[in-house]
Amino acid sequence: MINFEEELNPRQLEAVKTTEGPVLILAGAGSGKTRALTYRTAYLIEELGVRPYNILALTFTNKAAGEMRERIMDMCGADSRDITVSTFHSLCLRILFTNADRLGYDKSFEIADQTDQKSLIKDVCKRLKIDTKVYKEKSFLNVISGAKDELKTPIDFAKENAGDYYMQTYADVYTEYQKTLKANNQMDFDDLIMNVVRLFREYPEVLDHYSEKFRYIMVDEYQDTNSAQFVLVSLLAGKYRNLCVVGDDDQSIYAFRGADIRNILDFEKIYKDACVIRLEQNYRSTGNILDVANQVIANNRGRKAKELWTEAEKGKKIRFRQLDSAAGEAAFIADDIRSKAESGGYSYSDFAILIRTNVQSKEFEDAFRVRGIAYDLVKGLRFWDTKVIKDVTAYLVTVELGINDMRTARIINIPKRGIGAASVEKLRSFAEEQGITLLEACMEPGKAGVSGKGAKAVKDFYTTIEGLRESTLGMSLEEKLTRILKTVDYMTYLSDEAETTEKYLEQEEYIQKLKDSLREYEEEAEEPSLIDFLRINGIEGTTVDVDTDPGNEDKVLIMTMHNAKGLEFPGVYMAGMEEGLFPGYISINSGDEKDIEEERRLCYVGITRAKRELTLTCARVRMVNGETRYATASRFVKEMPFGLLDMNTTPEKTERPVYFSDGTKEYPGRKRPVAPVGPRTVPKRSQGFASYKKGKDMVAQKPDYNEGDRVRHFKFGEGQVLAIKDGGKDYEVTVDFDEHGVKKMFAGFAKLKKI
């Protein structure tokens, strides 16, 4: 029997017992929100007699959904088996699985992954004769994804951009892209929610069915929802209005993925009778860490007032250290971690280094490698995104179904058979003209214009697939995969392609894991099918889960602050706490305070990952894009109460004077005149300077190019100048690079060449 009063604090108990109508639970970092959600579910079942079948809990990752499901099962036992705990996309997939035909799809539709999408866009651009030097293929996918997040159909998008020639091209590509997806009986990841919203709006009886089923709805991490997810939840909860959303606006850090913080900030405007409950007692961090976090986030205007507190001790002060260079910063942190680990008070796995961008990782990798310290760099490449898994699943799909042209095209020359890109294009064109699949076109390559050795290779490929189809009838999916690998000699291909033995063994292990996964799936599924298996495993992962369990291996983790969300560590190092890096130059120069506030929220997330010790570091000088740049402490450090910092220098004193030829010197953030001293050079320091410039005249000189000109950068390649702004000591230049997108930089550093 669960004793809710004894096991929960007063605010958590209020959140658990407030079950009817709209509820907003503002759950601060480390305040036990998952505990509140699971107990709330148990309360609905145990105390109110709600059928588990009528409860829906939504979150963003499979990992989070799995953990919540396990907790609920532990508390409620078999009674909770019928609860739906799911990601948004998995829920929509289930709904579409039984209703896709209403929207004109076959129920065996597939999900187009990123590789499929890129291939589709490339084909669309060819058909529409679009110059991909002017319009980048990746930009089309980004624009289309953004439109779907806002529930804009191709027609909506075209109307919105009528009269804009440039954007009309995007509208044309979006239209053709959707037609091609439909012709392939595919949806991309963004289509799942968009199509369910369409289904609910066009078929009220379907909406009513699911509204009746899900009478109590809970949404975790609500601050991360986008417009489409907001509408989906609003529709589902419209009938009974028992909607409980849990989140923290101070941890909204995914605007770049389409998350809309207004969903949580405006909840009470949309649901005027909403009950708002604040969970502010923190069970993770020491008092000093929380005081620093509270002080920093209080500088954001777009937030709901809340302040974390704890019954724990105040703990150590937060250390702030400025080092001479990025390499020196990494060396300091590596030595500090080793010292603590060797003292016996900590294990290496107790520590995490949080960085703003992956570019910062190199110095840490070098420092740990030299010292022989084990570490993991968390980057988040999914198992399902690796080339080897994409290859073998494409074979499985082609042998099983043969109706997906992109999957067939992927493997038609893997292993190499002598089938060139020109032959594949001829086969594609012929298939499109005849209204048949690419695999069917391989039956008679001569009719498609493929001749000679190429025609024989194509025919052999078709014969191989057909032979596999016949010989694997009745086999399990694992057995089919084993037969396919042997028949096409895929392991020899891997061995030939692998650069090292280790790489080959790694890929071999991937395949073995896939086999294990297939076997486990077939043992558990009532009606196993390859499409269902791929749906379950292949479409999730918009938010990267950290698969490394720090408790299992004694390794230091290095990760971006975005990847650290949801985790906690006894000791945290936040590296690169410098203006221009965190917050970054783009946010600083955007002119939109919302960009800085998003960065500040990310800083808040980083701070609140620490349980016992927090160290902040910055470097006096850092190499950026091949140039030496002097750095000052991040504004976020300056927002912290200095009385809580253990410093080797105050943040203000990290500001390094830059001398100008007119005899004045400028301090970042303030100016004051001094006696004329003539031209000066910034002196070389004892360590950390890869290079420095002698006798450089610091007076800003106007670039020899203008807005609209084409320029070349030594690293980013060619691009077009969008804007040139006089920044006093240097001109700030905004360039839209062909391969790297829009970047802002100082002309003196950038050394752009007009072309």
Token output for 334: 């590596």
Q: Where do we find the tokens 């014969």?
A: 463
Q: Is 630 helix (H, G, I), strand (E, B) or coil?
A: strand
The active-site residue out of 41, 251, 398, 615 is 251
Residue type (1 letter), 663: G
- Catalytic: which of 221, 224, 350, 613? 221
Give, rounded to a whole angstrom, the gap between the first and last alpha carbons of the chain: 76
Long-range own/partner contacts, residues 745-753 (CB < 8 A, 24 or more apart): 745/585, 745/625, 747/701, 747/703, 748/700, 748/701, 749/624, 749/625, 749/627, 749/629, 750/625, 750/713, 751/713, 751/714, 752/703, 752/705, 752/711, 752/712, 752/713, 752/721, 753/711, 753/712
Catalytic status, residue 620: no
Residue of 11, 12, 33, 249 with catalytic role? 33
Q: Which of 583, 578, 589, 584 is nearest to 730 (CA)?
A: 589
Strands annotated E in 127-189: 186-188
> Choosing from 136, 340, 609, 743, which is the catalytic residue?
609
CA dist 356 and 573 (Å) reads: 12
The owner of tokens 């060819």 is: 126
Q: Are 729 and 700 in contact (CB under 8 A)?
A: yes
- Angstrom distance (rounded) from CA 730 to CA 711: 18
Instruction: Tell me how far CA of residue 640 lies from CA of 295, 502, 636, in angstroms.
Output: 6, 47, 7
Question: What is the rounded distance in angstroms from the CA atom of residue 246 to the CA atom of residue 264?
Answer: 9
Q: Angle at the Cα of 277 (from 271 to 278), degrees rounded to 5? A: 130
* Active-site annotation holds for 169: no
* Phi then psi dihedrals of residue 189, to 5 deg: -60, -40
What is the rounded distance in angstroms from the CA atom of residue 391 to the CA atom of residue 496? Answer: 15
The answer to whether residue 251 is catalytic is: yes
Contact between 293 and 608 under an 8 Å Cβ cutoff? The reply is yes
DSSP per-residue string spanning 600-618 = HHHHHHHHTTEEEEEEEEE
Out of 14, 17, 18, 34, the active site residue is 34
CA separation for the pair 624, 626 (Å, rounded):
5
Of 624, 586, 588, the residue nearest 713 (C-alpha): 624
Identify the active-site residue in 190, 191, 220, 627.
220
294, 270 in Cβ contact below 8 A? no
Instruction: Supply angle C-alpha 263, 265, 271, rounded to 5.
Output: 70
Q: Characterize the bridge pairing of strands 275-279 and 351-355.
A: unpaired
Residues in the chain: 755
Amino acid sitting at position 507: Q
CA 135 to chain centre: 24
Residue found by looking up tokens 């297939």 in the block? 518
Contact 657, 665 (CB under 8 A): yes
Q: Is 666 helix (H, G, I), strand (E, B) or coil?
A: strand
Helix axes 477-487, 490-497, angle to 10 degrees: 60
CA distance 415 to 419: 10
- 33 as an active site residue: the answer is yes
Number of H helices, E strands in the chain: 31, 24
Q: Angle formed by the axes of helices 530-538 and 387-400, to 10°?
A: 150
Query: In 10 A of CB 286, how many CB atoms?
Result: 21
Do residues 588 and 383 make contact, with C-beta atoms less than 8 angstroms apart? no
Residues with Cβ within 8 Å of 341's Cβ and at least 6 positions away in sequence, in order, are 347, 348, 350, 351
How far, CA to CA in Å, does 428 sit from each of 371, 406, 445?
Answer: 54, 10, 11
- Cα separation, 144 vs 517, whole angstroms: 33
Beta strand ranges found along 116-214 (DSSP E):
186-188
Active site residue 220: yes
Please report where in the chains the tokens 């240097």 appear, as a residue.
730
Residues involved in catalysis: 33-34, 220-221, 251, 609
